[in-house]
Amino acid sequence: MPIAPSPSRNRSSRLSVRASPAELERWNNAAHALGHATTAAWVRSLLHDAEVSQRSGGDVSSEIRGLRGELSRIGNNLNQLAHAAHLGEAVACADTLHHIDRLKDRTDSLLKTLRPTRTRRVKLTSHSVPVHLVH
């Protein structure tokens, strides 16, 4: 069910980007694969995300990769602490808990910069699949 445009969504200005036919086809395919009705809607969402997060391309993905690496290291620390505790050794968890809190805060901060997504089921030929729609 399409969402009725609000008065604030009336668009009278135009932004142009030149693309090769191959680029345009890739962008169209990517937009549709990501659940956007049009490539313009996808570009709008990308520009909005960059504006809100005050980040330009690639920053969010590199930040997420960094968080993933830290989570892996913290997981290793937790495994070592659990192993030591099972052996009856004294275990000091303060540093690991501090790292977990810091990582949680960084993750929360990053998530606040991202736009919320809504999952909607789209009927295909033989089954339904979840599609993330960005508003």
Residue 117 backbone dihedrals phi, psi, to 5 degrees: -115, 155
- Mean pLDDT in consecutive groups of 10 residues from the start of the chain, 135 residues: 55 88 91 90 84 65 79 87 88 84 83 58 51 47
Q: What's the pLDDT at 65?
A: 77
Which of these, 38, 49, 48, lies nearest to 2 by C-alpha position?
38
The whole model's pTM is what?
0.40
pLDDT at residue 115, rounded to an integer: 53
Q: What is the pLDDT of residue 2?
A: 46
Within 8 A by CB and 6+ apart from 115, the residues are 45, 48, 49, 52, 134, 135
